[in-house]
Amino acid sequence: MSETIRLAVIGGDGIGPEVVAEGLKVLDAVLVGTDVSVEKTDVELGADHWLKTGEVLADETLERLRGFDAILFGAVGAAPGDARVPSGLIERDLLLKLRFSLDQYVNLRPSLLPAGVASPLADPGEVDFVVVREGTEGPYAGNGGVLRAGTEAEIATEVSVNTAFGVRRVVRYAFEQAAARPRRKLTWIHKTNVLVHAGRLWKRVVEEVAADYPQVTVDYLHIDAATIFMVTDPARFDVIVTDNLFGDIITDLAGAVAGGIGLAASGNINPDRTAPSMFEPVHGSAPDIAGQGIADPTAAILSVAIMLETLGQPEAGARVRAAVAADLSTRGAERRGTTAVGDAIAGAVAARAQ
């Protein structure tokens, strides 16, 4: 029985296409000799595409993307100084619109410091946790507005929208993750002492879902305290669940702690499979180093591993992870280029085949 993964590839802007190319190279290598094949379709989107065509994300493009099994996403966003691209336009109307429209309510962001990788901020082996970040509501809902814009009487609001439905499904997913891991520990993060309405809803739902997982230990941290623990004691974390904004903050910090943001991979997952999931490095388009062939493709390659795991190919995913870990443990002070890293990992994956 053979299987074909129909994959949409959105390289995007800056270093996005460069790192995605290495992810695809490793994907091809890991599938050699398996009964799984991949059918790739490039989809042009991002700031450059918008400047060329005026399209941020057309309805037809969104419909077309729904037809794929998965999306591999590089990075989007113009250079900070580029006045032609309104700030946040591409992030919101493309990236966030994809996450919301495709109901990717789990933003899965694992942090693992493999043996041999030096981090000034943590001992190797100390970091092994996964953040389950809510992806479709909270402060990212896009609610809010402005009155008397541009005047001295201006008022601007941002509304965080939290529903029992939305919180429950992501919390349940996090408990499933925790139950399947050796330490079986779940930490939920919020700011319940200040944001009481959302905080009470999160607390109730966590407690209700916890009743179905007596084997999972649950604890709670305010977001401010969580950032301290992230740098002083990352080993205390196993599975973290939190809202969209707190998750954004804690995963960037986690990236810095776990070997740098160049290693941080993620999946925007629709666990109900009503639409494709999307896999992307946590880093941005880094316009300052684009086109130089020096971007680290590791996060994109690890995003491919998450993709394989999500699509029911855990062995292929594990082979990618093992090849990345082996490569990381040999990295010295010398900097290899983007292609060299991709070649090395693809080679290691191939050597591990069958």
Ligand X SMILES: CC(C)[C@H](C(=O)O)[C@@H](O)C(=O)O
Locate 317 and state its tokens. Answer: 């995913």
* CA 310 remoteness from chain centre: 13
296 annotated to bind ligand: yes
Closest to a copy of itself by CB, 115 or 156: 156
Q: How far apart are CA 140 and CA 207, in angstroms?
A: 24
224 catalytic per annotation = yes
Residue of 103, 105, 173, 191 with catalytic role: 191
Q: Does 123 bind a copy of itself (CB under 8 A)?
A: no
Smallest separation (angstroms) from ligand X to the CB of 164: 23
Smallest separation (angstroms) from ligand X to the CB of 294: 22
Q: Which residues lie across from 143 on neighbouring strands?
A: 159
Smallest separation (angstroms) from ligand X to the CB of 293: 24
Name every residue whose Cβ is closer than 8 Å to that of residue 227 and which is 6 or more positions away in sequence.
249, 250, 253
List 193, 215, 330, 354, residue binding ligand X (CB under 6 A)? 193
Q: Does 159 bind ligand X (CB under 6 A)?
A: no
Smallest separation (angstroms) from ligand X to the CB of 193: 5
Classify strands 128-134 and 138-147 as parallel, antiparallel or unpaired: unpaired
Q: With CB under 6 A, what is the number of residues at the site for ligand X?
A: 8
Q: Does 231 bind a copy of itself (CB under 8 A)?
A: yes
Q: Does 134 bind ligand X (CB under 6 A)?
A: no
The H or E element containing residue 241 is strand 239-242
Residue of 42, 123, 212, 224 with catalytic role: 224
Q: What residues between 222 and 281 interact with ligand X by CB under 6 A? A: 224, 248
Q: What residues between 141 and 180 interact with a copy of itself by CB under 8 A? A: 143-146, 149-165, 168
The H or E element containing residue 242 is strand 239-242
248 catalytic per annotation = yes
Stretch that binds a copy of itself, among 36-44, 105-113, 125-133, 254-262 (CB under 8 A): 254-262
Query: Which 8-state DSSP code applies to residue 337?
Result: P
70: number of Cβ within 10 Å: 22
Closest to a copy of itself by CB, 201 or 278: 201
Q: How far apart are CA 19 and CA 25, in angstroms?
A: 10
Place of tokens 């002083």: 232
Q: How far apart are CA 123 and CA 185, in angstroms?
A: 20
Q: How far apart are CA 150 and CA 301, in angstroms?
A: 45
Question: Binding residues for ligand X, per CB under 6 A?
Answer: 91, 95-96, 193-194, 224, 248, 282
Q: Which residues are catalytic?
A: 140, 191, 224, 248, 252
